[in-house]
Chains A and B, each alone.
Chain A
Amino acid sequence: DAEITQSPRHKITETGRQVTLACHQTWNHNNMFWYRQDLGHGLRLIHYSYGVQDTNKGEVSDGYSVSRSNTEDLPLTLESAASSQTSVYFCASSDPLAGGYNEQFFGPGTRLTVL
């Protein structure tokens, strides 16, 4: 079965370190998204991509970057981790040609703690 996976599931890092969170999907979806989930804020969009070599900033993109070199993967990089980036991170994907009008499929999440 097709799926979307994230790794690691849990990560503890120190302030100032560079961290990369992996997202891999086997749906062959063109659209991929990164969100962060914080209490009281729901899910907020960090970055998104509509295809290979395409990346776009979301509403909370400061301090984060992404790159899309193939259809399956969209890694999220924290350039210099800050305590404010402690959060749960979700990756999602969707098929722009599907009849479901871009229903998104979510990964299991990565819990990141920045000390």
Chain B
Amino acid sequence: AQSVTQLDSQVPVFEEAPVELRCNYSSSVSVYLFWYVQYPNQGLQLLLKYLSGSTLVKGINGFEAEFNKSQTSFHLRKPSVHISDTAEYFCAVRGGTSYGKLTFGQGTILTVHP
């Protein structure tokens, strides 16, 4: 079985500052990793995903994440945030044998202040 821990429930930052949202996972098999974003009163949409290959993954809206197998982490980063990035962010993992099922973290609320 796999699990996901998002280390920060809330992250406040000022506009144009860099941000890192932390995600650690546990799995006994190979994993596929995802970051989703949820804007207020909306469903989730995919930001980026790691399947294999390069450990640095680039997604939409200037976000990127780095897969670190030795530290079992998949932290999300953006060098300069905008007010419009205010949202809740979810890290998710699919274990190699779980056939499509995702396990989600608890979510991190990113609030960007002017």
Contacts and interface: CB of A to CB of B under 8 A. Distances in A.
Contacts of B99: 50, 96, 102
Contacts of A109: 41-43
Interface residues of B, number: 24
B43 A103 contact: no
Residue from A40, A45, A48, A102 having most chain B Cβ neighbours under 10 A? A102
Nearest to B52: A101
Interface stretch (B14-22, B73-81, B102-110): B102-110
Nearest to A6: B43
Nearest to B6: A42
A96 B104 contact: no
B72 interface: no
Interface in A61-115: 90, 92, 94, 96, 100-104, 106-109
B11 interface: no
- Size category, A interface: 20 to 34
A58 B102 CA distance: 11
A60 interface: no
B59 to A, nearest CB: 12
Contact of B43 (A40, A96, A101, A107): A107
A31 interface: yes
B102 A104 contact: yes
A96 B107 CA distance: 25
A57 to B, nearest CB: 12
A41 B43 contact: no
A92 B34 CA distance: 15
Interface in B70-114: 90, 94, 99-102, 104-107
Interface of A: 31, 33, 35, 40-45, 48, 50, 58, 90, 92, 94, 96, 100-104, 106-109
Interface of B: 4, 6, 9, 32, 34, 36, 41-46, 49, 51, 90, 94, 99-102, 104-107
